[in-house]
Amino acid sequence: MTRSASIDEIARSLNGLEPPWLPAYDMRAYAAKVDSECGYSSEMMVALEINTRMFEEVVAYVHLCGAFGSMHPSTARQYECVRNGRAEIDDVLAHNATGACPTYTGLLASFVDRGILVRCAPG
């Protein structure tokens, strides 16, 4: 599975849990950004850094889908939506989109910082 396909594949497998407003971020651009900024001279270390960051993006994407998706309570769910106002969500989306390379980890952090999502209590 390629980097850009990984989130697309996950989105298809989540079958409707993805919020309709969740943007499709350019993960290739993000991987290139990580590559240019990581500072390692070893290709293996660069690859490990990119893999780690891409894994974090996939995890954040799944957390966002779980937090906003309609489903039964689950111990796998790490975040819960406590405020679902469209204006607040749009504001967070707009703020996150101002970055040079928006990410799902940044979006998740913004939702938590604004109090829209909270961490679920351990099951």
Distance CA 95, CA 46 (A): 29
Residues 57-76 pLDDT 10s: 999 999 999 999 877 778 88
Regions in the chain scoring below 70 on pLDDT: 1-7, 11, 15, 123
Q: What is the number of domains present in the chain?
A: 1
Identify which of 64, 65, 25, 29 has the alpha carbon closest to the alpha carbon of residue 50.
Answer: 29
Look up the domain containing 45 and give its range.
3-119
Instruction: Name the pTM for this structure.
Output: 0.85
Distance CA 81, CA 49 (A): 30
